[in-house]
Amino acid sequence: MIKIFQPYQQAINSSKLFLFLKINFLLLIYIVHIPSLQAQKENIDPNGYNVFYYENGNKSSEGTLENGKPNGYWKTYFETGVLKTEGNRVKFQLDSIWKFYNAKSLLVNTIYYSNGFKNGLSEFYDSAQNLIESVNYINNLKSGEAKKFYHSGQLRILEYYQNDKLEGVSYEYDSTGTIITIREYTGGFLRKEERINRFDSEGKKDGIWKEFYDNGKVKWEGKYTGGELNGIVKEYNAKGGLKTMEKYEKGELNVDSEEVVFFELEKKIRPDGSMLVGGYNNNQKQGIFREYDSTGSLIASYEYKNDLILAEGMLDTAGAKVGPWKYYYESGELKAVGEYVGGMEDKEWIYYFKNGNIQQKGTYLNGVPHGSWKWYYENKQLHREEYFRRGKEDGEVVEYDTIGNILTRGEFIDGIQDGKWFYNVNDHTEEGEFRDDMRHGEWIYKYQDGTPAFKGEYFNGLPMGKHKYYYPNGKIQWEGKYDNGMREGEWKKYTEEGAPSMQIIYKRGEEYKINGIKIKQFEL
């Protein structure tokens, strides 16, 4: 099947991304930050054991300083006195296991460190202290197996990372251990997703169902409709070879079906001795066909569907695509042209709209994007241009609307957003800086006429300090501050005329009072 490479789309205001950044940044704050030293400034021992306190008298942190820097085993605490984090340092670098707790003294996360980097498992726990996620790190990069679990302990997702990017095949399971989704990734890009083993609204089997051998090969597959088998059912051996194929209609086996024989290869020998070899269904070509000359040498290969040619090129002796290939829409128009090496895309590929205009073009290296890529609208207007290095965005990216206005401009370094970025989002623009894939520093939004729409600062992806939102007339709409990514203290809302209309008091990100009225009992 042809693989069309989809352009990267930057997510704006993604709550899931924000939560991910928030968690990771807070962990960083927990580790490197020693809370308030106000109560003990004059008694600090730069080469000994120290205990620091909040203004309310509770401990904020404790551990050994060496030349004024934390070393050895350290603990930090919430203002309530509850343990927040604990772990060891060797030569001032994070080392071995670190543990992180929430305000209710429950373990949230454990991370293994070596020489200041994450090296080993990072594990997350729910409020019942059940393991819900584990991922392995090598020098701060996700690497190898990663797992997510149901609260019952049953495996939910199994996936693999390479250099902090999803790679290879991942599996999603239901609560009984049955695979329900298969996804394939290359360099962090989702290439294919297949939903299987599902039920309809009445609890009956529906859609494609599959069983697997322990080696991951498909053992059996068939399609259900309303709980009954319908269509072709295939059974395979452990090496992937087809064993049996049967046709079902509304749950009943059709022993007279002609469709179950289309995998029987037929050789059509021409008068000159050349031949075409492939499978038929109702006298229509289906699947891969191979064409041989009169000496028996393979000269061409084709992919057919219902007698329509979808692709043509060459296969090697192992069945892998090699050399130039062409792909076609079912209506006959050229869809793509490119080259394979050992079954993987290589060199320049060009994809077309049905009207013949170029849809996208770029180069591959060992099956992943490498070099310049450009996408176009159907009217030939340039849509997006960017650069890749071995499957990762690397260099400037610019995205345009259908009349040439810039929608996005920024830069990637090895797949990570970095430096200044610009977005044109509906009624406003956004400008600011990314550092290591996270918003950092001041971000400014402006309405299309240049009037400020928002001003605020971020630190490693989290909003920090004063944030202000404006009406199109320039009047302030909302203002307030963030502390470690959470709204804190007084937030004020105003009318478009500038009159105060609402006041909300936040404590650690939660609404505490609205217009002076306490809305909940705040737990300390």
- Residue 474 sits in a domain whose CATH number is 2.20.110
- Residue 496's domain comprises 418-524
Judging by beta carbons within 10 Å of its beta carbon (0-12, 13-18, 19+), is residue 210 exposed, middle or buried? middle
The pLDDT of residue 28 is 44
The pLDDT of residue 50 is 94
Asked if 99 and 188 sit in the same domain, the reply is yes
Binning pLDDT at 50, 70 and 90, where does residue 256 land? low
Q: Is residue 21's pLDDT more than 90?
A: no
User: Across residues 137-162, what is the average pLDDT?
Assistant: 94
Distance CA 64, CA 313 (A): 69
Lowest mean pLDDT segment, chosen from 158-172, 249-263, 450-464: 249-263
Asked if 218 and 100 sit in the same domain, the reply is no
Tens-place pLDDT, residues 281-329: 777 887 888 999 998 888 999 998 888 999 999 988 777 899 999 999 9
Is 68 within a domain? yes
Is 187 within a domain? yes
The pLDDT of residue 8 is 39
The pLDDT of residue 23 is 43
Distance CA 392, CA 396 (A): 12
Distance CA 367, CA 311 (A): 18
The structure tokens listed for 380 are: 């030939």
Is 350 within a domain? no
Distance CA 125, CA 132 (A): 5
The pLDDT of residue 37 is 42
Distance CA 45, CA 220 (A): 69
Binning pLDDT at 50, 70 and 90, where does residue 124 land? very high
Q: How far is CA 36 from CA 51, 79, 114, 117, in A?
A: 11, 10, 27, 26
Structural contact between residues 456 and 442, judged by C-beta atoms closer than 8 angstroms: yes
Is 258 within a domain? no
Asked if 77 and 200 sit in the same domain, the reply is yes
User: Across residues 31-38, what is the average pLDDT?
Assistant: 43
Asked if 35 and 161 sit in the same domain, the reply is yes
Structural contact between residues 188 and 415, judged by C-beta atoms closer than 8 angstroms: yes
- Averaged pLDDT score across all residues of the chain: 87
Binning pLDDT at 50, 70 and 90, where does residue 7 land? very low
3-state secondary structure 188-218: CEEEEEEECCEECCCCCEEEEEEEECCCCCE
User: Across residues 196-217, what is the average pLDDT?
Assistant: 91
Distance CA 60, CA 83 (A): 9
Last residue in a domain, options 151, 178, 206 = 206
Is 395 within a domain? no
* Close Cβ partners of 186 (under 8 Å, ≥ 6 residues apart): 167, 367, 368, 391
Structural contact between residues 470 and 478, judged by C-beta atoms closer than 8 angstroms: no
Quote the strand ranges of 452-515, DSSP E. 452-459, 462-470, 476-483, 486-494, 500-507, 510-514
Alpha-carbon dihedral sign for residues 74, 41, 43, 67: positive
Asked if 37 and 174 sit in the same domain, the reply is yes
Asked if 202 and 226 sit in the same domain, the reply is no
Tens-place pLDDT, residues 40-52: 555 889 999 999 9
Asked if 228 and 244 sit in the same domain, the reply is yes
Asked if 75 and 213 sit in the same domain, the reply is no
Is 307 within a domain? no
Binning pLDDT at 50, 70 and 90, where does residue 363 land? very high
Which has more confidence, 382 or 215?
A: 382
Is 193 within a domain? yes
3-state secondary structure of 17: helix
As beta bridge partners, residue 85 has 76, 100
Asked if 153 and 97 sit in the same domain, the reply is yes
* Close Cβ partners of 328 (under 8 Å, ≥ 6 residues apart): 308, 309, 310, 311, 334, 335
**Residue corresponding to tokens 């008068």:** 271
Distance CA 254, CA 432 (A): 64
The pLDDT of residue 3 is 45
Asked if 170 and 90 sit in the same domain, the reply is yes
Q: How far is CA 448 from CA 26, 456, 472, in A?
A: 35, 19, 9
Quote the strand ranges of 306-353, DSSP E. 308-315, 321-328, 334-341, 344-352
Structural contact between residues 218 and 236, judged by C-beta atoms closer than 8 angstroms: yes
Last residue in a domain, options 219, 236, 253 = 253
Binning pLDDT at 50, 70 and 90, where does residue 355 land? very high
Asked if 64 and 164 sit in the same domain, the reply is yes
Is 296 within a domain? no
Nearest alpha carbon to residue 341 among 368, 371, 373, 381: 368
Distance CA 19, CA 25 (A): 10
Binning pLDDT at 50, 70 and 90, where does residue 24 land? very low
The pLDDT of residue 250 is 84
Number of structural domains (the chain) is 3
Last residue in a domain, options 149, 181, 206 = 206
Asked if 21 and 93 sit in the same domain, the reply is yes
Distance of CA 23 to the CA centre of its chain: 17
Structural contact between residues 311 and 298, judged by C-beta atoms closer than 8 angstroms: no
Read off the CATH number of the domain in which 187 is found.
3.90.930.1
Structural contact between residues 34 and 52, judged by C-beta atoms closer than 8 angstroms: yes
Q: Is residue 438's pLDDT more than 80?
A: yes
